[in-house]
Amino acid sequence: MANPFSKGWKYMMSSFDKKIDDNADPKVQIHQAAEAAREQHRQIQEQAAAVIGNRNQLEMSLSRLQKERDKLTANTRAAVQQADAARAAGDAAKAQELEHTAEIFASQLVSIETEIDQTTEMHGQAVRAAEEAQQQAKRSQVEYEQIKTQIRELESQADQAKMQETTSRTLDGLQGAASNPNVPTLDGVREKIESRYANALGAQELAANSHTGRMAEIEASGADARADARLAEIRAQMASESGRNELGKGSAGELEAGEEAAADVDDADVTLEEPGDAGMKGNPGA
């Protein structure tokens, strides 16, 4: 049964690693990926170089063994020829010695030829391995060039993303400054004014339709009527005062004219009485 603590620890570490990866700088991750690709390419190149070097070393060994084989072959032939010549000359001891030397050369020759065969087989394998290593090195070079191109593209994208993030943060800051709740906006002020005006119109409409509104209209009408009456009264007073002033002026003139007329009448009466009196006196029955 799995240990719950161990599982929890692995989960926590995995989650922690994921958070680190999510919050890591893309340029740093790109650099890490580039270093890993460069190291892998370097290892492949070194391995290919080692395989090719092994082939070259086997070729050099094979060439040396072949030279030794040729030399031993020549020495063996020379020893055999000299042994035959000594035997022909009747020198059996020298002939036997030379034959023994030829046998030694022949034994060395067999050993060299065996080594040559083994080296030749190894060289064939090394040649095939070197060809595969060269192909792998070429593929690694092509892939590494592609990776470098991708790295440049990713770096460019990372720079663009960083610029976009900076622009977004700047715009967010500007928007936050523009939308400061402590600073009134024109739209907010306009909305408040329209709300207050609409509420006032609503209250006025309710007041006009209510008893209090009708009473206020009646009181306003009464006040207007009293004002009109008071204005008419003031105008009448002003007209009366103006008429009295004109009447006073006219009465004084009339009095003076009346006095003069009365005097004239008195004089006329005196004049008229004289003939009348005479007539009455002459005609009493009348």
Q: Mind listing the pLDDT tens digit of every residue in the chain (286 residues)?
A: 455 545 554 555 555 455 555 566 778 888 888 899 899 999 999 999 999 999 999 999 999 999 999 999 999 999 999 999 999 998 899 999 999 999 999 999 999 999 999 999 999 999 999 999 999 999 999 999 998 898 888 888 888 888 887 888 787 766 655 555 666 677 777 787 878 878 877 777 776 666 555 666 666 666 677 777 777 888 788 888 877 776 666 555 555 555 555 555 455 444 444 444 444 444 444 3
Alpha carbons within 13 A on the beta-carbon side of 220: 7
Q: Which two tokens stand for residue 99?
A: 């034959």
- Going by C-beta distance under 8 Å and a sequence separation of 6 or more, which residues neighbour residue 26? 154, 158, 161, 162
The position carrying tokens 């030749």 is 120
Q: Could you tell me if 148 and 212 lie in one domain? A: no
Domain count, the chain: 2
Q: Could you tell me if 153 and 260 lie in one domain? A: no
Q: Give, as one character, the DSSP assignment of residue 24.
A: S
Q: Could you tell me if 140 and 41 lie in one domain? A: yes
| Range(s) of the domain holding residue 59 | 22-161
Rounded Cα distance between 111 and 105, Å, is 10
pLDDT at 31: 85
pTM: 0.49
Assess if residue 236 is contained within a domain: yes
End-of-domain residue from the set 102, 134, 161: 161
Q: Could you tell me if 131 and 242 lie in one domain? A: no
Assess if residue 16 is contained within a domain: no
End-of-domain residue from the set 142, 161, 180: 161
Backbone Cα Rg of the chain? 73
Assess if residue 45 is contained within a domain: yes
pLDDT digits (tens, 9 = 90+) for 201-253: 777 777 666 655 566 666 666 667 777 777 788 878 888 887 777 666 655 55
